[in-house]
Amino acid sequence: MLLSDKVIVITGGASGIGYACVKAYIKAGAQVVVLDIQQGAMDRLIAEIGPDHLAIDCDVTKESSVKLAIEQVKDRYGRIDAIHNNAGIATPSKSLDLTTPGEWQTIMNVNLFSIYLTTKFGLPYLKQSAGCILNTSSMVASIGQLNHAAYVASKGAVDALTKAMALDYAPYKIRVNAVAPAGVWTPTLEKWAAEQPDKESIEQYLDDIHVLGYCPKGDVVADGCTFLLSDKARFITGHIMPIGGGAELGYRR
């Protein structure tokens, strides 16, 4: 029970990696608050995990929405031990010159500005608990990705921000880390793979980029996140943890 009695707020927790993290955190003993805009998915999630946990309809790009959500967490649990900034989008799939200003701003708002907002409103409670912050980054932050310029830029900024936050909040005993997955089978990736001309070839490609030989599901990321949020990682801060089965090494099977 690595997270026994901890209150963890996670953005984008209704599906994909976030959903796997929610399940893992609960299994490890935490009470979990999910901030998401997918109301149907959140209703199904709460039906599955039970009323001890909380799902809040929250647009993590809106100051008023995040402020209200954090107040609801305080009113319900009286404390916050960790914030996992997981909400993210990968679109548009374009080079920089083809990306519109609106597309650029949207991805930066979801992937980056949301971290500012959760930190701004959650920090007073993390100071009280000497808690921690975890950001979901990506392997592409360090190696790039074809036709995803805005996404790569946003995740590169997440890595840099993670290190800056770790330095700023260390005096309060608040740890700040990030995880950097490579390919992970989520509904978004499954949809993308199904749209490709040769689905079987794409699935083989996704297996092959990982040195360990397969493209994983979200549970492998969730296990790493559980560790980083636990006291087992009490002397780790400012770390970008690769969870890519060796994909970050650049080798191919």
User: Mind telling me the catalytic residues?
Assistant: 151
Virtual torsion, Cα 199, 155, 114, 60, nearest 10 deg: 0
Q: What is the DSSP letter of 139?
A: T
At position 71, the amino acid (one-letter code) is E
- Sign of the torsion formed by the C-alpha atoms of 229, 232, 234 and 236: negative
Which class for 39: exposed (0-12), middle (13-18), buried (19 or more C-beta within 10 A)? Answer: exposed
Distance CA 141, CA 152 (A): 5
Q: What is the DSSP letter of 113?
A: I
- Whether residue 42 contacts residue 57, with contact meaning beta carbons closer than 8 Å, is answered with yes
At position 51, the amino acid (one-letter code) is P
Going along the chain, which residue ranges are E strands?
A: 7-11, 31-36, 54-57, 82-85, 132-136, 175-181, 240-243
- Please provide residue 5's backbone torsions phi and psi, each rounded to the nearest 5 degrees: 70, 10
Virtual torsion, Cα 199, 205, 206, 211, nearest 10 deg: 160
